Every structure is written in structure tokens, then in C-alpha cells.
């Protein structure tokens, strides 16, 4: 076969491949909710997704940027703020939202944000 045909065939196949890499979260926290789950995913660039999922496959996702000062996490949401709130504290094992309409506490499953497990003075 002609090398030009090989080139175009290879180019077509490579163009069909999704070149985006899946980004892994550096922090994962969650809890089981009545009839669903609450998830928090934080990425290396300090963006996050707070997801409230019911029995359906995908729930409400609130995203934005995270800033951390000592043991306090400040969530700057892109649009709506979930009922859990926008400020949380952590002890390295749990994340507890403190300014929402109700208290929310998530268990940390993965932590590569360099949050220490002992934040006591």
C-alpha cells in the first residue's frame, strides 16, 4: 500500500483517541447520606467538586476553588453554594462544614494535600 494511505489511516485512528488524561483527586472525602452519598473531590490545582448524589446516577455538583489556612478550608464556589456551607475545618481524618444550614461531616478517604493527621496545638 501507498505510504500516504498508511499515514492518513494512522492519523485518523489517532484523531479518534481521547487525548485528555483523567485527573486524579488529591483529596477524597465522603459520607453516606439518606438515600445517597455526599462526595468531596479536591484536585492538585486546588479546584474541587462537592457532589450531593441521591439514588440517581449523578447528583448536584458544586465546583470552585479551595484555599486552606491552618486547619480551615475555604470553598469559593463558581455559582450556587450547597446547604453544607463554604467553610470547613479538618483534623486530618474528617472534614466538618461549620457555616451551612446543617452540620456536615465527611470522612477523608484519600489525602495528598499535606494535611497532617494531628492538627492539635
Residue extents of the structural domains in the chain:
23-111
Q: Is the CB of residue 41 less than 8 Å from the CB of residue 49?
A: yes
Smallest CA-to-CA distance from 46 within 62, 25, 22 is with 25
pTM here is 0.74
Which pLDDT score is estimated for 10? 53
Domain 23-111: state its class. Answer: mainly beta
Which pLDDT score is estimated for 34? 75
Per-10-residue mean pLDDT, the chain, length 121:
59 51 86 87 95 81 95 95 95 95 94 62 43
Which pLDDT score is estimated for 36? 83
Separation of alpha carbons 107 and 73, rounded Å? 15
Amino acid at each position: 500500500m501507498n505510504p500516504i494511505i498508511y499515514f492518513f489511516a494512522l492519523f485518523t485512528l489517532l484523531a479518534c483517541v481521547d487525548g485528555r488524561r483523567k485527573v486524579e483527586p488529591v483529596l477524597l472525602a465522603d459520607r453516606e447520606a439518606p438515600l445517597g452519598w455526599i462526595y468531596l473531590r479536591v484536585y492538585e490545582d486546588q479546584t474541587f467538586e462537592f457532589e450531593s448524589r441521591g439514588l440517581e446516577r449523578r447528583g448536584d455538583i458544586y465546583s470552585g476553588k479551595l484555599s486552606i489556612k491552618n486547619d480551615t478550608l475555604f470553598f469559593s464556589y463558581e455559582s450556587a453554594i450547597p446547604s453544607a456551607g463554604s467553610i470547613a475545618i479538618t483534623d486530618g481524618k474528617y472534614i466538618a462544614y461549620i457555616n451551612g444550614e446543617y452540620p456536615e461531616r465527611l470522612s477523608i478517604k484519600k489525602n495528598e494535600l499535606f494535611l497532617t493527621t494531628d492538627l492539635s496545638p
